[in-house]
Amino acid sequence: MVNFLIFGPPGSGKGTQSVKLAEKFNLVHLSTGDMLRAEIATGTDLGKRMSSIMSKGELVPDEVVIEMIACKIDHSKGSAGFLFDGFPRTVAQTIALEKMLNDRKMKIDSVLVLEVEHDELVKRLVARAELSGRPDDKDPAVIENRIDVYKSKTEPIINYCRERGIYQPVNGMGSIEDVFRRLSKYMKKYL
């Protein structure tokens, strides 16, 4: 099994690319953002509690996403590996994921980090707001807060991964197809 993390600021294209990569390489795509939005859409107690946190652009508590992911890993069988999208988002989540995988005789093989300029991130999220109606895309102040939260809480994961030799920066600028080709090239080395 080969396991990848796709990583980058909000709007860097994690979700967009993960769908295409999971299909191409027969990976299970696990998006904590999608899982949380599904909880909100179906009106579960968890969804109700997480909705206000997400609409402000803050991160939901680590234990919530760690539990969701552990459950999904144990119920996903028969693929070439996992593609984690938007998880982990804190160093604590990264350590928990490593432990979860190690306990199951797996590991993180590569962390693909999409690098996109600030103005392009804002442009993409504002454009998505028109189509998705996502509350966290509608307000420019919330978009800026998400980018700040990424810098303070999520970016430190990069150093952690660099020390483990699993950090792979990828240029996330350009068309969806250009970025897809670049990511595919790195992933092919493992598959």
Find the binding residues for ligand B4P in span 141-180 (CB under 6 A). Answer: 146, 175-176, 179
- 81 touching ligand B4P, by CB under 6 A: no
Q: Is position 181 annotated as part of the catalytic site?
A: no
Task: List beta partners, residue 5.
Answer: 84, 111
Check 20, 72, 107, 134 and give the catalytic one. 134
Number of residues that bind ligand B4P (CB under 6 A): 28
Nearest residue to ligand B4P by CB is 33
Region binding ligand B4P by CB under 6 A among candidate stretches 38-46, 99-107, 124-132, 157-165: 124-132
Question: Rounded to an integer, what distance in angstroms lies between the CA atom of residue 111 and that of residue 128?
Answer: 25
Residue found under tokens 């984690």: 84
Tell me the CA distances in angstroms from 171 to 117, 139, 141, one per residue in order: 10, 27, 26
Query: Which residue, among 16, 15, 20, 9, has the nearest Cα to 36 in the 3D structure?
Result: 15
The 3-state DSSP class for residue 91 equals helix
Q: Residues 6 or more apart from 44 whose CB is under 8 A from it?
A: none
State residue 140 phi and psi, 5-degree precision.
-55, -30
Region binding ligand B4P by CB under 6 A among candidate stretches 41-49, 71-79, 85-93, 101-109: 85-93
- 112 touching ligand B4P, by CB under 6 A: no
Region binding ligand B4P by CB under 6 A among candidate stretches 22-30, 51-59, 97-105, 162-170: 51-59
Contacts 24+ apart (CB under 8 A), 35-42: 35/65, 35/68, 35/72, 36/60, 36/65, 36/68, 37/134
Question: Rounded to an integer, what distance in angstroms lies between the CA atom of residue 57 and that of residue 145?
Answer: 6
- 16 touching ligand B4P, by CB under 6 A: yes
- 33 touching ligand B4P, by CB under 6 A: yes
Q: Which is nearer to ligand B4P, 29 or 89 (CB)?
A: 89
- 32 touching ligand B4P, by CB under 6 A: yes
The footprint of ligand B4P (CB under 6 A) covers 8, 10-16, 32-33, 36, 54, 57, 59-60, 65, 86-87, 89, 93, 124-125, 128, 136, 146, 175-176, 179
Residue numbers annotated as active site:
14, 89, 128, 134, 146
